Amino acid sequence: MKYNTVLFDFDGTIADSFSSGLEVYNKLAKEHDLRVVQQEEVSTLRDLPLSELLSELKVPKLKLPYLVAKGTRLLRKNIASIDPFEGISEIIRQIRPQVENLAILTSNRTENVKDFLLRHQLDTEFDFIESCNKLTGKAKFIRSICENVGCLPEELVYIGDEERDIKAAHQAGCEIIAVLWGFNSYKALHAENPTHLASEPDEILRLLGL
């Protein structure tokens, strides 16, 4: 395999957390006079890149850091009800012995991720968890991870479910596997020209050359 470092996103890639995330968002929306998302809107919203999504939901940019921080705190209360996507745990366990570094880069809180991994017996599979604590700016964290583990950008692959993950990987100079079981739709992901698209977890192994 040409990659020595495999970096996973968390929400929407490993954790099937969309329903809990939507519940938390709607709670915050009611508290802060934002637009509540109805279930019938979800498929349309999945087509939107982050900037358009925030505009559509009328979320003020100045409020975004506060809302993200509060939302991830609230999400911890629901962590026991969140499961991995079907098949992804087995894929992670198969990747583990094949790479030098297996890690997570997420905008969720490290504590939430650790709780989830421990509950699902995945806590020993990852070398580290990096939290960027915001919705944008993942590229600099990917570059920092490359420096810290001593790999070139082309030796790292990021696995994520959103168009912003693709943009971050391109900016960092690494390849990306965009997965179709998370938040953004095929339309939104394909528009950003990911290195690869995976429609189910088993495809990750093939794309990694395993």
Structure tokens at 156: 């790292």
Farthest-apart Cα atoms in the chain, separation: 49
pLDDT reported for residue 63:
85
Query: Architecture of domain 5-16+83-208 in CATH?
Result: 3-Layer(aba) Sandwich (3.40)
To which residue do tokens 């409020």 refer?
63
**Helices of type H across 2-132:** 18-31, 42-45, 50-56, 64-75, 88-95, 110-119
To which residue do tokens 């996103």 refer?
9
pLDDT reported for residue 137:
81
Structure tokens at 78: 């629901």
Does residue 68 register a pLDDT over 90? no
Residues 45-58: what's their mean pLDDT?
90
At 131-173, the pLDDT tens digits run: 986 666 899 999 999 999 999 999 999 999 999 999 999 999 9
182: Cβ contacts below 8 Å, ≥ 6 apart: 9, 11, 12, 13, 18, 160, 161, 162
pLDDT reported for residue 136:
66
Whole-number Å distance between alpha carbons of 169 and 206: 20
Residue type for position 19: S
Structure tokens at 73: 């705190």
Give the DSSP per-residue string, 79-146.
GGG--BPTTHHHHHHHHGGG-SEEEEEESS-HHHHHHHHHHTT-TTT-SEEEE--SSS-HHHHHHHHH
Task: Indicate the helix (H) or strand (E) that contains 16.
Answer: none
Whole-number Å distance between alpha carbons of 37 and 57: 8
Q: What is the residue-averaged pLDDT of the chain?
A: 93
pLDDT reported for residue 134:
65
Does residue 60 register a pLDDT over 90? no
